[in-house]
């Protein structure tokens, strides 16, 4: 039972890592799009 629990914990950590990376990537994409929109509007 103990090994099953540690395996689940490892999976949870990987999922959280994946979500974290995805969130950062999304944030960068949104910022880039906002900057592009802003520069387009200022011209």
Nearest CA to 22 out of 14, 34, 11, 33 is that of 14
Identify the pLDDT of residue 42. 84
What number of other Cβ atoms are within 10 A of residue 31's Cβ?
Answer: 10
Structural domains of the chain, count:
1
Task: Look at the alpha carbons of 14, 19, 20, 25 in this order and tell me if their dihedral is positive or negative.
Answer: positive
- Tens-digit pLDDT profile for residues 1-43: 678 889 989 999 999 999 999 999 999 999 999 999 999 888 7
The pTM assigned to this predicted structure is 0.52
Identify the pLDDT of residue 38. 92
Domain range enclosing 20: 1-43
């Amino acid at each position: 039972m103990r090994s099953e629990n540690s395996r689940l914990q490892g999976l949870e950590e990987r999922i959280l890592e994946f979500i974290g990376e995805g969130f950062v990537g999304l944030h960068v994409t949104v910022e880039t799009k906002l900057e592009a929109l802003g520069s387009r509007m200022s011209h």
